[in-house]
Amino acid sequence: MTLDEEKDPALGPEAARAVELARRSLGAMSPQQRVQGLLRVTERTARRPGFRLSPLRAGALALAAAAAVLLGVNVWQRGARSDRLSYEVEGGAVQQDGSVQADTSSRPKVRFSDGTEVQLAEMARAHIVSVDEQGARVALDRGEVHARVVHRSEAQWLFDAGPFLVTVTGTAFALSWAPEDERLDLRLENGAVIVSGPLSGKPIAVRAGQWLTLRQRTGEVLLRDLDLQQGAEASPAPAPAPPDRAEEPSAAPVPDPPGTPAGPTAAALSAEPRRDWAGKLAAGKLDAIVDEAQRRGLGVSLAESSNEELSVLADAARYTRRNDVARQALLAQRRRFPATQRGKEAAFLLGRLAEAQEGGAAALAWFETYLKEAPQGAYASEALGRKMVIVQRLHGDAEAEAVARAYLSRFPGGTYAQAARALARTP
């Protein structure tokens, strides 16, 4: 707002010039700055004997004094400190290009004055783009960072990863960006964040306990249950009894669930307009997706939904712990769309479900199926890493060593590389 837009007959020419100069130089004052200026001018004028102001003139002078405060012409503002955050790098140094970079022997940590910490994983590189009183903007060039952002009123932290932007107020999360694969991974430990970018028309809300993967190249948006990832890094448990072979992927196709409508009833239901399940998934309306599928009849939903809708239904069911619905959706995807990328990825997700619910042999079979069908697929690194863990659990270190060496030859910087080096006795 300019002075012409805010005419005030009580504002004298000198005060008006001061206000206009402040606005042009510094922009609009914040509510806090206006209050501070009013309090100071009121206190100063009240001390002058015999000096009286009308309420209108007092308000005008308060505005002028606040502008003068911002310009630093009042003696009581000399030496005032800024609330802008500061930071230091521990275990590393800022490079000439302004980046903080980790190598194989160091994991630098950036400590901010409000207590927020951002630690780089091995071989990661990041830039501190800007810092102000609300927070900072950090650009992740490659690799992974782990951040613990202190929650404060009006705090705003931004993390760039390729074309994606993560908006944070206060939370703990791990964020990785692989520019060569154009892949973002966000594992949220607590709090909530918003992720925006080219793959979704609306920002994606990620809640505590979720793991988001975005693949710019293929347009994939995938949410997972973080518990599965945490379980992957847990200490191996005693080997469970091998499950029935009928549960392995070599089994005959699973028929549609009982109660699948046939004939005119199924046709009438399938004529219903498609729901925006992908939009509901991005908005976190997970229960609504599963409830809608069951309301139409789960058999009908599995038989009539598109490949993408089956993926969304499976994801929503997994996140809400309705694993039986998730398994049926993934099996339907395998049965109806076996040659597609999503159909192949369903084998990997069935392996994760089997690992969480049943244990070793069934999960191992699904992971091997996925690696056979999609050796260069998006989940190849994780499928091979899980295979290594399960083989070690079921058959011991000797057999797992061969899988570990295969993993290191393909994914030397992967999530399971450290465990693979221990098994392969490789530094």
Instruction: Supply the DSSP string of 198-264, one letter for each residue.
Output: TT-SSPEEEETTEEEEEETTTTEEEEEEHHHHHHHTSPPPPPPPPPPGGGSTTSPPPPPPTT---TH
pLDDT of 30 > 60? The answer is no
With 50 as the cut, is the pLDDT of residue 237 above it? no
CATH of the domain at 189: 2.60.120.1440
Residue 12 pLDDT: 58
Q: Distance (Å, rounded) from C-alpha 34 to C-alpha 335?
A: 66
Same domain, 130 and 56: no
Contact 377, 345 (CB under 8 A): yes
Question: What is the reported pLDDT for 208?
Answer: 85
Asked whether the beta carbons of 3 and 16 are under 8 A apart, the reply is yes
Q: Which two tokens stand for residue 154?
A: 């009006």
353/231 Cα distance (integer angstroms): 12
Q: What is the dihedral of CA 10, 15, 18, 23, to 10 degrees?
A: -10
Name the average pLDDT for the chain: 74
* Domain closes at, from 36, 57, 77: 77
Does 67 or 395 have the greater pLDDT score?
395
275 and 409 housed in the same domain: yes
Distance CA 337, CA 340 (A): 6
Enumerate the β-bridge partners of residue 111.
Answer: 88, 117
Buried b (16+ CB within 10 A) or exposed e, 168-185: bbbbbbbbbbbeeeebbb
pLDDT at 422 over 80: yes
How much of the chain, in percent, has pLDDT values that exceed 90? 28
pLDDT at 242 over 80: no
* Domain shared by 311 and 164, yes or no: no
Q: What is the pLDDT of residues 169-221, one digit of tens each?
A: 778 899 999 887 788 999 988 888 989 888 766 788 888 888 888 888 777 78
pLDDT at 216: 81
Question: Is pLDDT at 337 greater than 90 in this prediction?
Answer: yes
Nearest-5° Cα angle at 386, 285 to 103: 95
Specify the pLDDT at position 270.
39
For residue 137, the model assigns a pLDDT of: 92
The proportion of the chain whose per-residue pLDDT surpasses 70, expressed as a percent, equals: 66
Domain containing 188 equals: 87-217
Q: What is the CA radius of gyration of the chain?
A: 29
- pTM of this prediction? 0.46
Quick one: average pLDDT of 37-63?
50
- Determine the pLDDT at residue 14: 60
Residue 224, domain member (yes or no): no
pLDDT in tens, 268-302: 333 344 568 877 776 678 888 999 999 989 999 89
pLDDT digits (tens, 9 = 90+) for 145-175: 999 998 887 788 999 998 899 999 778 899 9
Q: Higher pLDDT residue, 85 or 42? A: 85
* 376 and 279 together in one domain: yes
**Residue 54: per-residue pLDDT:** 52
For the chain, the 3-state helix, strand and coil shares in percent, each to the nearest 5, are 45, 20, 35
Residue 235 lies in a domain: no
- Whether residue 117 has pLDDT greater than 90: yes
Instruction: Please tell me whether residues 209 and 276 are part of one structural domain.
Output: no
The reply to whether 398 and 263 lie within a common domain is yes
In 91-215, which ranges are E strands?
99-101, 109-112, 117-120, 125-131, 136-149, 157-161, 164-168, 171-178, 183-190, 192-196, 204-207, 210-215
Least confident piece of the model among 57-66, 102-111, 147-156, 219-228: 57-66
Cα–Cα distances in angstroms (integers) from residue 384 to residues 275, 367, 411, in the given order? 36, 7, 9
Say whether both 188 and 253 belong to one domain.
no
Q: How confident is the model over 53-67, as a mean pLDDT?
A: 50
SS3 14: helix
Q: What average pLDDT does the segment 335-350 reach?
A: 92
Query: What's the rounded mean pLDDT across residues 13-30?
Result: 54
**pLDDT value for 50:** 54
Number of domains in the chain: 3
Same domain, 71 and 113: no
The secondary structure element, H or E, covering residue 358 is none
Q: Are residues 51 and 129 in the same domain?
A: no
- What per-residue confidence (pLDDT) applies to 227? 63
Tell me what pLDDT residue 202 has. 74
Q: Comparing 418 with 28, which gets the higher pLDDT?
A: 418
| pLDDT higher than 50, residue 122 | yes
Looking at residue 277, its pLDDT comes to 85
